[in-house]
Chain A
Amino acid sequence: MAEEVYSPRRIPSDVPFLVAIWGIAGMYLLLILAVLAADASYTSAGDLWMAVNDPDVRASIWLTLQTCWVTAILSVIVAVPTGYVLARFNFPLKRLFDSILDIPIVLPPLVIGLSLLILFNQVMIGGQSIERWLGDWLSDLHAWNDNIPSGVTYRIPAIILAQFTVSCAFAVRTMRNTFDGINPRQEKVALTLGCGRSGAFWLIALPQASRGVVAAGTLAWARALGEFGPVLVFAGATRGSTEVLATTVFLEISIGNLEGAVAVSFLMITVAILVLTTVRMLGIRQSV
């Protein structure tokens, strides 16, 4: 049998692969930039100035910022333990639990709003709807101040709940991935060194997950900013009351003020870029 002579195989060039991946990434970036450029061409500095000076838009910006921060904080509070449970524990029906948590991501936003509306107004607890029950409870809570509106539906709490229902699902996914990426043996070592499970979580797992926590919060914040469907159905779009930036765009379009709608969209883009860039500049390199 003839001795096989080693001949180095010619390896194809890396150039087509690199061109393909950079090309695809570049095309997507181009699409986003094209959309922004189209918006920019449809508005002017004057429109933006008018939008910023409009008291309704100002109130909307302020309410948007408030609800987005509350939503982001609530989402992190829920996502951290939920992500930890999914990453660290095996239990019956875990796959089902996991799939249920993804429902807000896959459901059409309007359906989420509709579902919240039905849950709060049609589902009865002790002969009373959740809306009524919560309304009574909130009235008792601040009986000293009649100016604070009670109830949830078509009020500010509905905005937060609608944003939270969707945003939290993204935050949970981020936290689960974060905890999956942390070596569980570190927590096991901590258990042998004297920690209980909570000590291992607070002292070992959570400090390591800090970047993931900020990423989850940022993602929840960004999702809350863009949430429109569930907010519209569950909180309504009442000027000066339950109007957030996403609903402002809708209201401006509904009265035919396309320039105003684009100007408000630009404000939303500016706010989003400011927040996301600031978080990333603070050293959070985890992708969101």
Chain B
Amino acid sequence: MITVKNLTIRLGNFVLESVNLIVPRSGYAVLMGKTGCGKTTLLECICGLKRAQSGSIFFGDHEVTRLRPAERGVGYVPQDGALFNTMTVRDQLAFGPRVRGWHKRDALDRAGELADELGIDHLMDRRTKGLSGGELQRIALGRALSCRPQVLCLDEPLSALDDETREEICELIMRLRCNHPFTALHITHSRAEAERLGDLVFIIDGDGRVRGRD
């Protein structure tokens, strides 16, 4: 479960004020709003990548507001995938477990497990250069899930994909929801995507307030 209480984020002149939202355990929330309204800022704040001026964030009963990103148990899929292009796909999938101190064999097993599930096992020895948009998103999803996060934050993961690939990744995300017990917050501009994936929808309006959509 993600609970955001009275969160205020200020970045220069930009302000997100008194944000409140609750995503129930294993729920899938979609966050919408105009470009520049602060969706990514809010998501990064939940991930611990930006600081809030006031308010609190809970994952379940556990307050994470002051915790560093690594201590939150969050998986993050940024807008452009932001894959590590010096590493092979296998190393990217094993990266999280390795830096968290897993034994190398266990980390590689986990990478293999995710690659099977995401249909990218044939890409394991490749680097990201030359891979298709759909393949890159699958790798980004696998990397984000590699440490079994309780919360998954996705920042417009489907926006750069063609219709057919978007449909494939939508189905993949729905399948992943069945197999992985994460609570998700997903940013999108697409109403169709929101209706397809979201259990609930939040909208950031023009004055920086978040409301649930009826």
A residues lining the B interface (CB < 8 Å): 183, 185-186, 188-196, 199, 203-204, 207-208, 210
Decide if B95 is an interface residue (CB 8 Å cutoff). yes
Q: Which residues on the A side are within 8 Å of B86 (C-beta)?
A: 207-208, 210
Q: Which residues on the B side are within 8 Å of A196 (C-beta)?
A: 68, 70
Known: A193-B70, A193-B99, A195-B70. Is A188-B147 also a contact (CB below 8 A)?
Answer: no
From B48, B75, B149, give the contact of A191 (CB < 8 A): B48
Known: A193-B95, A194-B96, A196-B70. Is A188-B44 also a contact (CB below 8 A)?
Answer: yes
| Contact of B84 with A188 in the complex, beta carbons under 8 Å | no
Write the chain B residue with the least CB distance to A210: B86
7 contacts across the A-B interface (CB closer than 8 A): A183-B80, A189-B78, A189-B82, A192-B48, A192-B70, A193-B100, A194-B99
Nearest-Cβ distance from residue A201 to partner chain B, whole angstroms: 13
Write the chain B residue with the least CB distance to A188: B49
Known: A183-B82, A186-B82, A208-B86. Is A192-B49 also a contact (CB below 8 A)?
Answer: yes
| Contact of B99 with A186 in the complex, beta carbons under 8 Å | no
Nearest-Cβ distance from residue A194 to partner chain B, whole angstroms: 4
Number of interface residues of B (CB under 8 A): 28
Decide if B74 is an interface residue (CB 8 Å cutoff). yes
How many A-B pairs fall under 8 Å by CB? Answer: 67
| Contact of A185 with B70 in the complex, beta carbons under 8 Å | no
Cα–Cα, bound, A18→B147 (Å)? 53
Cα–Cα, bound, A203→B68 (Å)? 18
Cα–Cα, bound, A191→B75 (Å)? 10
Known: A183-B82, A194-B70, A194-B147. Is A189-B76 also a contact (CB below 8 A)?
Answer: yes
Nearest-Cβ distance from residue B156 to partner chain A, whole angstroms: 12
Q: Which residues on the B side are within 8 Å of A183 (C-beta)?
A: 80, 82
B residues lining the A interface (CB < 8 Å): 44, 47-49, 68-70, 72, 74-76, 78-80, 82-86, 95-96, 99-100, 143-144, 146-147, 149
Nearest-Cβ distance from residue A14 to partner chain B, whole angstroms: 29
| Contact of A192 with B76 in the complex, beta carbons under 8 Å | yes
Q: Which residues on the A side are within 8 Å of B149 (C-beta)?
A: 192
| Contact of A186 with B83 in the complex, beta carbons under 8 Å | yes
Q: Which residues on the B side are within 8 Å of A189 (C-beta)?
A: 76, 78, 82, 84, 143-144
Q: Which residues on the A side are within 8 Å of B143 (C-beta)?
A: 189, 193
Q: Which residues on the A side are within 8 Å of B48 (C-beta)?
A: 191-192
Cα–Cα, bound, A196→B96 (Å)? 12
Known: A185-B78, A199-B99, A203-B99. Is A192-B69 also a contact (CB below 8 A)?
Answer: yes
Write the chain B residue with the least CB distance to A191: B69
Cα–Cα, bound, A190→B49 (Å)? 11
Nearest-Cβ distance from residue B124 to partner chain A, whole angstroms: 18
Q: Which residues on the A side are within 8 Å of B100 (C-beta)?
A: 193-194
Write the chain B residue with the least CB distance to A203: B99
Nearest-Cβ distance from residue B79 to partner chain A, whole angstroms: 8
| Contact of B85 with A192 in the complex, beta carbons under 8 Å | no
| Contact of A208 with B85 in the complex, beta carbons under 8 Å | yes
From A185, A190, A207, give the contact of B80 (CB < 8 A): A185
Write the chain B residue with the least CB distance to A182: B85
Top-7 shortest CB links A-B: A193-B96, A185-B82, A191-B69, A194-B100, A194-B99, A192-B76, A185-B78
Q: Which residues on the A side are within 8 Å of B95 (C-beta)?
A: 190, 193, 203
Cα–Cα, bound, A194→B79 (Å)? 20
Nearest-Cβ distance from residue A96 to partner chain B, whole angstroms: 19
Q: A193-B95, A194-B147 are in contact. List 14 more A-B contacts (CB 8 A).
A: A185-B79, A185-B82, A186-B84, A188-B76, A189-B78, A190-B84, A191-B69, A193-B100, A193-B146, A195-B99, A196-B70, A207-B86, A208-B85, A208-B86
Cα–Cα, bound, A196→B48 (Å)? 12
